[in-house]
Every structure is written in C-alpha cells, then in structure tokens.
Structure 1
Amino acid sequence: MVLSMSRPQLHPRTRTYWLRKRVPADLVAVVGRKEVTLSLGTKDQAEAKRRYVVELSKLEAQWETLRNGPLSLTEREAHEIAGALHDRWLSRYRDEPSAQTFWPVDVGARVFTRRAWDQSLSPVENLTAAEPAFARLLQLEQWCSAAADEELLARGLRTDPDGHRKVAKAIGAAVQRASLTLQRMAKGELLADPPPPISALPARSSAHKPLQSASESKTGKVVDTAARVTLSGLVEKWWLEAEKAGKSPSTRESYTNTMRNLGAFLKHDNATQVTFEDVIAFKDHRLASTGRSGKPISSRTVKNSDLAGLKSVFGWAVANRLLSENPALGVTVQSGARVRMRDPSFTTEEATAILRAALDHPRGTELAQTYAAKRWVPWLLAFTGARVGEIVQMRRQDLRKVKIEGHPGDTWVLTITPEAGTVKTKQAREVPLHPQLIDLGFAAFVENSSDERFFLVPDAKGGVAGPLQGVKNRLGEFARKQVSDPGVSPNHGWRHRFRSVAIEAGVPEMVIDAICGWAPRNVGGRYGSVLQKPRADAIARLPWIKLSANETQLTSD
C-alpha cells in the first residue's frame, strides 16, 4: 500500500493553503494542543508546496528541541535571539525616528538593574521619590519578559528560568541600542560608519548555529505573508482555530468589535501597519469614550476586553507567521477595585417591582419571543440563579420531566448546556424548576409552544449570539424602567439575590454553587457531585413569592 504524503490543504472559504499537522503524542502536553495549523499565505499551489516544506521543517525542528527539554542558553545565544528585534525596531522607525516614543532611553538604560537608584534610601523612600520612573521601569521589564516569551515561542524553544531572563535582558539591551540610534537619527546626526545589524554578524561554528528570527526562513529571507493582513480578516482566521479550542461565540463577538473599533480609530484595516503607539493611542481613546448607556467606558472593560482581544489575536498572528510582532504586547491600563455604593443584589422592593411588571406586561406588537422573555425570564432568574444568557438561549429539548425521590409527581428539570449557546464555565448543569414557576403556568407555556427557542429568533444562519445579545439588552431596559439605581445590574442582580435567598433558606453552599454553576471553593469540592435530589430539595426550600395586589411588597409563605 502506498502511503499518501502530507501536503498543503486548501481552506474552503479563503482558498488559501494551510499547513495542518498533528502534534506528536509525547508533546501534546507541552505544546498545549493536539494539532498545529498555520497559514502558508498563498493561493498558488506550487508556491504553497515550497512553503509547506520550509514550514514543516521548522515545525519538526521545534518539536525536536522540545523533546530535548529546557535549554540552558549562553549570553551570546540570548543576544542572537534579541538581534532580530533590534533590526526590526530600527527598520520600523528608520524613516520617522522621532515617532519612537514607546521606549524612553533614560529609563531604558536602567532596565534589569537597580544601580541607578539611591542606595541610601529605604525601598519605600525610593519608590516614593521616583514612583513614575520606577513604574515605567517595571513596565519595560515586564514588556521585555513578554517579548522573550514571544521570541522563544516563535522558535519553538524552551529554556530554563536563567535562560529566559538572559533573553529578556538581551531584548532590553537590543531595544535600548536601537532606540539610542534612532534618537541620534532624529537629531539629524549622520552615522558615518553605522554598526551592522546584529542578525548580519558572522555565524558561530556548526555546534552553535545562530538562532533564526521569527520573521526569517532558513534561507534568511523574510517570510512572505503574500497578502495584506487585514484586522477584520485576522479575527476570522483566529476564530477558525479558537472555535476548536473551545472559545465562546461571545468572545469572538467581543474581539471582532474590538478590531472593528481599532480599524475605525486608525482609519485603516491593515494589521501589518499597527504599531505600539497606535495601540496606546487606541487605549487612551477608549478610556475617553462613552458606551451606549452614555457612561464612560471603564478601565476594566478596556483592559479585560479591548486589550485582551488585541493581545490574543495579534499574538496568535505572530505564532502563525502572519505578523512579525505583537503591537499590543506590554500595553496595559491601571484598574482598581470597583467602587460599590450598595449591595449588588435586588432589594425586596426592587424584586417585587420587576416581577409584578413581568406578570402585567401587555402583549403589544413586539415579537412573541420578546414578549415571552419579558414575561418569563425574570421569574426564571429569580428561581434558578442562572445567568440571563443561559436562560434566554433555552431550547425545548433542554427541559424535561423526571421522577425524583421525595418529590411527588414529576419534577421539571432545566439543563443549562453549552450546546444551547454560551455557558461561561463550558459545563452543563441541571436545575430543577421551582413549583411556583409551574403554578404560574410556565410548564403549560412550554408544552404549548411550537418553537425550539422560546425567547429569541436565531439569525439566518441559525446563530444565536447576535439575537441573544439583543434580547439581553431589551430585558435590561425592561428591568431598568422598574429599578433605576445604577448600583445594581438589571439582569445580574437576580444572580446575587438568588444566593442571598438560598443562604437564608438554609441551602448548603456546595448545593448553591452546583445550581448556579460556580466553581468549587477547594480541591475537595472537585470530587463527587451534587445529585438531582439535593438540588430539588434546595429549590423546594426557596420561599414562594407572593405579590400583593394592593402593596408593592414581596412576602413569603
């Protein structure tokens, strides 16, 4: 039998050739995935075959390096790794040297050394006396460390801690040298005999071969990405792999919005032209912007959504040879503890107002699914402790009747599952429904409904991410009409309240965590599971909610 040779694969949508290679079983734990995918950056079959051989050779060399375990690098090897970054730094700013503002040479000279600080002062006095410069110094050192991770990863190298520190220090020295050169160029000084690029220095003996730049092939030529890499296209390429790795559609939507906002801010869509300064300017722009609510965008949102998205997508692009470096690397934003002026859960009066409005909500002309969401979702949130998206994406098949010991008749059980849409923990869980929900007619509503989705209409492709967010927004607006206090979330306030009510009813915390999908609080909590009976017992202990016709007061049996 003739075995087929591995070869480039044509992507069905982009029509670009890719390399796909299964990671050897002994390296899966080290690499962190079972398969490597890499765009070859061309639609020409002959060129794809040539690049495939080059990239496959690199990949197999990296795997061999990983098999040999962590390397102990010499200082010379570390400087060879950093040399490529030195050359790229000069190349990036050569035409406009004064545009290099990320690396201040006065602070950069002190990276990875404390000799510049006054040794006669105590650490506290030192920090107080030079806090801005000290903070910038630490930021540059963190950037060098992250850049070392990226450069080593691009070469498939694993080093011991000492080797990693040598690379980080070498990168700091390389960028400092390049920045000093650019500073002289910005002043108009002509370097009569400029030093050769470090990457052009003579190679060592065959026993110590120079380490290649992430942007160079074995021939010494820059790896050609063949086509202009767009911000919008980059997210789509990232998602092809991220989806298989278990990333949620909501993450894709968030990162797509971030890239769209970045493109609108920069007024172009070319990912290869994005610089460190662009990302910093975009960060400042976002911090000065307001959201749809009219409130300023928080530093937490900029850090955990915008910058996280840029770092992830650009980092993936570097690892897959689509970009030479990650322009978001090292960019951060300070964020402190959120100021809280009140308890995050609904008060009795607030819960009463929303639930009464849900019962009295008129049919009107809105979609049947939107009407049903306003009618039932607040009550379901009150008795399940679920996240609003987990309820809105509910499907008919997620509800069933089961026999549970100690509970007469059938008990309706809701399965909250990633198959329905997005679940933050990516783990399914079961929540028995409270008898009052059945008494109010929710079971009858389910049995009489002919649609698979009760509270939303999937888009033309069957997706639910966009429609889900729309319904969540409308539910938030609906609740906000009853509870105007900005200190409580109009949807998430139910999740906080559920825990408070359950604790007051004497439900064990382990059972509350299982119902709400919270992680165990200790290692012991990861063993065993909370079965249906204790979950049903816990839900049954929650007090019935009574809304008096004459009072805006919530009482219980």
Structure 2
Amino acid sequence: MLYRMVRPVLRKGSRNRQFHQRIPTDIRSRIAGLRLDIPLGNSTVSRTLSADTETVRLSLQTDDPNEVKRRQAGVATYLASVWAAVRKDRPVSLTHRQATALAGELFRAWADDGAARSLAIEQAPEGGWRRVQNETDEDRNAEWAAVNAYWAKVGSTGRSEDLEAPLGPLIKRVLLKEGVGEVDEQSRLMLLEAFWKALRDAFEIRERYSQGDYRADPKADRYPAWIPGGAEPKALDRGSAVSQGKRTGLTQLVADWWKEAQSSGLKPSTHESYRNTMAKFVAFLGHDDASRVSKDDVLAFKNDRLASGVSAKTVKDSDLAGLKTLLGWAVSNNRLPDNPAQGATIKLGRRLKLRSKGFTDQEALDVLRHAMAYKPRGDAPKLAAVKQWVPWLCAFTGSRVGEMLQLRKQDVRLEGGHWVALITPEAGTVKSNEAREVVLHPQLVELGFVDFVQQSDVGHLFITPRPRDGDLMAPIKTARNKLGAFVREVVADPNVDPNHGWRHRFKTVGRECGVADTVLDALQGHAAATVGDRYGDVTVKARAAAIAKFPRYDLERKAADGVVK
C-alpha cells in the first residue's frame, strides 16, 4: 500500500505554514461530533468534526522550518492515533497499570508549574474548567487552596457519576491521543479513580509551588510509562480459580457474582455500588489479583478512604460491606480459600440530630411554590416536568423520588372514581420488589397532573431510558440529582435531604391527620411492623380515605398562619 505524505503548505496572505490532511474515507461516517484537541507546540487547537468534514486544516502558527517539521509531525501522529481509535469497533479493556499510566500524563501536565499544558486546562474553584489566565502570586495561592478543597469534596462522595462530569472530557482527550476509542465499563471506573487521584496529587503540588515550596515530589515516580500493547479486547478467565489453579481477577469476581445475584432479584443499584467499590479497591491496590489480597490490604483501603474524606458510614455500609459480600461469594464458589475482608469494620458513633429529617411547614411551602413558579430555562421537556411535578407528587404520596421519576403514562389510571398511580418494579426499581398503588390527592388532580399525563407520550413521564441499552438507573440518578439541586435553591439546610425529606414529612402529617401507621406504611411501601400487620390488604378505597385526610397546601399563606386551608 502506498501512503501519501502530508506536507505543510502556505496560505495566501500568511507566512505561517498550514497543515492539511484528508480524513480517511473508511471512517468519515463515524466522526460526526468528534472533538479533536490537537497538540500544537505548547498549546492545543480544538476542532469539532461534522459529518461533512473531509479535511483537517489548521495553521501551524510558525514559519520556522525546524519548528514546522516538529509541529507537522506532532499533528500527523496525533491524528493517526485518533483515526486508529475510531476504527476500533468495540470497547477495549485496560489494565490497572495502563489506567495509572494514562493518569500520569495528566499528573505531569499539571504538576510541572512551568510545563506546557497540551492536555490540561484550568480547574475553576467553583467547578468546571477554563483556560489559564495570568494571576498575581496572592491570587494564585488563594485559588489553589480553593481548588484543592473543591477537588477533595468532588471525590469524597465515592460516586463515579460525580467524577464523570469534570473528568469525562479529559479522559476522552487522553484516550484519543493514545489511539484508544471507547473502554469497557470497568476500565472507565478505573480511569475515573486514577485521574481523580492524579489531579488531587498534582493540585497539592501546585499549591506548594504557589507557596514557594519547589521540592521534588515522590508521587511522580508512581506513574509508569504508557504501553499500548495490552489495550485490546480480551476474554477474562471465568473458571474456578481454586479447583483449576487459575488466577482470580477481582474485577471478574464482580461480573460473575452479579450473574448469580441478579437471578435472585438483587437490585441493580447494589451491583453498581459493589462494582464501584471494587474498582476503587483495585485502583488502591495497584493490581487485580484476588489471591494477593490480605486483611492488611482491606484495612489499609479502609483507612485510605477515611483519610480521603469519605464518611465512616459510607466506608462501613458500602465499601466494606461490598468487599465482604464479593470476597465471601468467591470463597463459597471455590474461587478463594478465605475472605480477607471478614471482620473488617468500623464502629459508628451516634450522629448528631440537629433537626427533624422531614421538611418543616415553611420549607414545604417554599419548595412547592418554587415548583409552581418554575419556568423552563433551556431544560429538556422531561427535566422541566420533573421540577414542576415531582415535588408535588412526593408531597402527597410520600414515595421515594426514584419511584416517582420512573412513573409511566400507563401507570396512571382511574379506578373506582379515584385517580391512582401504580408504582411497579416493571417501570424501573422498587426497594421492596413489590408493586403498590398510590391514590392521587384531589389537589394534584386540580393542579393538572392528570392532564399532563394524558397529554404525554406513552412511556416514562420524566426520564428517557438510555438508548444503547435501555438502562433506567443512570437517567433516574441524573434527574434525582438535578431535582435535588433545584430544591436546594430554596432549602439550603444541609441537615435535611432535598428529596427524602418528603417521605419523613408525609408520615408526620399523616399521623397528625389520624391515619393509621399500617395504612401509611402501605402507602409509602414500608415493611409491616408486625406479623399481624401483614394480614389483610389496604385497598384502594382505604388508601383514598387516608389521602383525603391530608390537607391541601395553601401557597398564599405563610407557615406561621397555617400551611393548609
């Protein structure tokens, strides 16, 4: 095969040389929307390709012959890697070493105060990214301190979705540069964790630099060089490690455990939590070999998570619980001889209770007024509906926010003269795995919720399943987080949950109205308190009678004058 050399050319009216390269015909149909961040000297040039783009053109921004050759070669090498990544037709699996090596590129770009940032952009203290600006020493000191505080907060939640927004674009840029298109889900989790740690370390170094401390940092030695050879799709060992003498991968344990757990009705949210925990554990260990894990490793991981600012409750109930379950499953299935996480725990003290967990009268009014007054500001139609209707639904049903977010048009119907919404696992997920009916309060009907339902398309009212696999959990999480931020605009108290506060309030108001706890439990999907309470049914008629006792919200009144009319 003959390859045509790409030469720099002159453009009329400019002394600077220009780079021109035709996009290979075999990938043109797959590049629409692809963003290129092309290294050019000590900076980058961004180009977004469309379906009609046939040629990549840019100025090399110099007429120096030697520099022209260097930049020409750099751009051509970068584009060759991108075209190779686009040609890959399935996600690749990365080793932990490879994920750490890629993160090292980001670490080195940020940790060197005088280095060019062809990969990096400025992290703003309030979140997001921006280009580097000239600053005074005093400004730089204050800003790096703020950036460090913000970045520690981002990683303290332990949720991969919190890292995806700030790190996703950077990961894509680095992957494309190395000729990798998409990676599998477990590799993505490893990259998010590795990139967060790399930036955390780099930000700490930059803060030291801003204070005049330029000592070499030993963290730089922990990032290996990138070796692409292993970044190919691979089949993982699925056999019995103990009986066959094969290596047991921690990542593969999660996949194999889930096949069994899923068939027994375990929730996808539990799988996601355990999978994220294992990805963090693998990133912490620096290897994926289950046979090398000791109890000391588990305890060191626990201490590292606590030192990173993760709450003791999260470490105990999520991280340690996940490791115990997964490694215990491996023992039961002859994959490991013993469970190194067994016995690892944290003794939790009693949390300070500074207020009720439910919304106060004033907070409830503020949220419902906020929802009533909301005008879409560029939000997608379904997200706008979330902000307008879900607070009202939670106020009058006491349901979990996720249960309301997964409602479908076909779940709302008229039964025995009452409008009823069916909360069912078929629509998404229900904690108890049991469907239940909630009767809609007359005020909800009068406000137009039923009209909204009838005018909506068939399917989910508030979310859109993910196109590639029909997943509902990710869209529900996104909507729940955005709704929480919307409520926080009027209820700033961190001691009340912006979404779950309605469930606590519903039970409080129900008791004030004289509704029996057994009926409230049935309405909210809580387990019966006694064996006797499990006998008999709470019918739609009984549910409607209970809901009718709940007073209306009078948005014209102040809480001091009475919430209801």
1:241-290 CA-partner distances (Å, limit 9, x unpaired): 00111100110111111111111212222222222111101111112223
Alignment of 1:382-393 (within 5 A): 382-393=395-406
> Matched residues in 1 for 2:277 and 2:283: separation?
10
**Does structure 1 residue 481 correspond to structure 2 residue 494?**
no
1:158-177 CA-partner distances (Å, limit 9, x unpaired): xxxxxxxxxxxxxxxxxxxx
What letter matches 2:258 in structure 1?
Answer: W
**Does structure 1 residue 342 correspond to structure 2 residue 355?**
yes
- Residue 222 (structure 1) shift: 5.6
Alignment of 1:251-266 (within 5 A): 251-266=270-285
Identify if the C-alpha distance between structure 1 residues 553 and 233 changes in structure 2 by more than 3 Å, giving closer, same or farther: farther
Aligned 8 A contact 2:273 2:322 in 1? yes
Aligned 8 A contact 1:417 1:427 in 2? yes
Identify if the C-alpha distance between structure 1 residues 352 and 552 changes in structure 2 by more than 3 Å, giving closer, same or farther: farther
Aligned 8 A contact 1:377 1:392 in 2? yes
Structure 1 counterpart of 2:333, from 320, 331, 339: 320
Task: Give the equivalent residue in structure 2 for 1:464.
Answer: 472
Alignment of 1:54-65 (within 5 A): none
Identify if the C-alpha distance between structure 1 residues 554 and 456 changes in structure 2 by more than 3 Å, giving closer, same or farther: farther
Corresponding residue SS for 2:244: coil
- Residue 473 (structure 1) shift: 1.1
Aligned 8 A contact 2:362 2:558 in 1? no
Aligned 8 A contact 2:358 2:504 in 1? yes
1:290-327 CA-partner distances (Å, limit 9, x unpaired): 3xxxxxx2222111111111111111111112222212
> Matched residues in 2 for 1:308 and 1:289: separation?
18
> Matched residues in 2 for 1:542 and 1:556: separation?
9
Corresponding residue SS for 1:489: coil
**Does structure 1 residue 527 correspond to structure 2 residue 547?**
no
- Residue 225 (structure 1) shift: 4.7
1:365-395 CA-partner distances (Å, limit 9, x unpaired): 2221111111111100000010111111112
Task: Give the equivalent residue in structure 2 for 1:224.
Answer: 244
Aligned 8 A contact 2:242 2:335 in 1? no
What letter matches 1:312 in structure 2?
Answer: T
Aligned 8 A contact 1:225 1:322 in 2? no
Task: Give the equivalent residue in structure 2 for 1:281.
Answer: 300
> Matched residues in 2 for 1:470 and 1:247: separation?
22
Alignment of 1:479-518 (within 5 A): 479-518=487-526
> Matched residues in 1 for 2:355 and 2:558: separation?
28
Aligned 8 A contact 1:399 1:412 in 2? yes
> Matched residues in 2 for 1:476 and 1:546: separation?
23
Identify if the C-alpha distance between structure 1 residues 501 and 251 changes in structure 2 by more than 3 Å, giving closer, same or farther: same
1:174-195 CA-partner distances (Å, limit 9, x unpaired): xxxxxxxxxxxxxxxxxxxxxx
Identify if the C-alpha distance between structure 1 residues 361 and 549 changes in structure 2 by more than 3 Å, giving closer, same or farther: farther
Identify if the C-alpha distance between structure 1 residues 361 and 554 changes in structure 2 by more than 3 Å, giving closer, same or farther: farther
Task: Give the equivalent residue in structure 2 for 1:248.
Answer: 267
What letter matches 2:391 in structure 1?
Answer: P
Alignment of 1:132-531 (within 5 A): 223-226=243-246, 228-290=247-309, 297-403=310-416, 410-459=417-466, 460-531=468-539
- Residue 451 (structure 1) shift: 4.2
Corresponding residue SS for 1:430: strand
> Matched residues in 2 for 1:432 and 1:258: separation?
39
> Matched residues in 2 for 1:233 and 1:509: separation?
45
Corresponding residue SS for 2:243: coil
Corresponding residue SS for 2:263: coil
- Residue 479 (structure 1) shift: 1.0
Aligned 8 A contact 2:519 2:538 in 1? yes
- Residue 549 (structure 1) shift: 8.0
Q: Percent identity?
A: 49
Identify if the C-alpha distance between structure 1 residues 225 and 376 changes in structure 2 by more than 3 Å, giving closer, same or farther: farther
Corresponding residue SS for 1:535: helix
Aligned 8 A contact 1:548 1:554 in 2? no
Provide structure 1 residue ranges, at least 5 long, that are not aligned to the other structure: 1-216, 291-296, 404-409
> Matched residues in 1 for 2:305 and 2:371: separation?
36
TM-score, scaled relative to structure 1: 0.56
Identify if the C-alpha distance between structure 1 residues 554 and 375 changes in structure 2 by more than 3 Å, giving closer, same or farther: farther
What letter matches 1:277 in structure 2?
Answer: D
> Matched residues in 2 for 1:333 and 1:350: separation?
35
> Matched residues in 2 for 1:457 and 1:282: separation?
37
> Matched residues in 2 for 1:512 and 1:440: separation?
24
Identify if the C-alpha distance between structure 1 residues 423 and 225 changes in structure 2 by more than 3 Å, giving closer, same or farther: farther
Aligned 8 A contact 2:331 2:339 in 1? yes
- Residue 230 (structure 1) shift: 2.4
Corresponding residue SS for 2:419: strand
Aligned 8 A contact 1:352 1:554 in 2? no
**Aligned-pair Cα RMSD in Å:** 1.9
1:191-222 CA-partner distances (Å, limit 9, x unpaired): xxxxxxxxxxxxxxxxxxxxxxxxxx9xxx96
> Matched residues in 1 for 2:529 and 2:338: separation?
39
Task: Give the equivalent residue in structure 2 for 1:66.
Answer: none
> Matched residues in 1 for 2:331 and 2:287: separation?
20
1:308-357 CA-partner distances (Å, limit 9, x unpaired): 11111111111112222212111111112222111111011111111111
> Matched residues in 1 for 2:449 and 2:421: separation?
12
Task: Give the equivalent residue in structure 2 for 1:168.
Answer: none
What letter matches 1:351 in structure 2?
Answer: A
- Residue 551 (structure 1) shift: 8.8
Provide structure 2 residue ranges, at least 5 long, that are not aligned to the other structure: 1-239
Identify if the C-alpha distance between structure 1 residues 479 and 400 changes in structure 2 by more than 3 Å, giving closer, same or farther: same
Aligned 8 A contact 1:275 1:327 in 2? yes
Identify if the C-alpha distance between structure 1 residues 322 and 541 changes in structure 2 by more than 3 Å, giving closer, same or farther: same
Aligned 8 A contact 2:302 2:315 in 1? yes
1:484-543 CA-partner distances (Å, limit 9, x unpaired): 111111111100100111111111111111101111121211111111111000101110
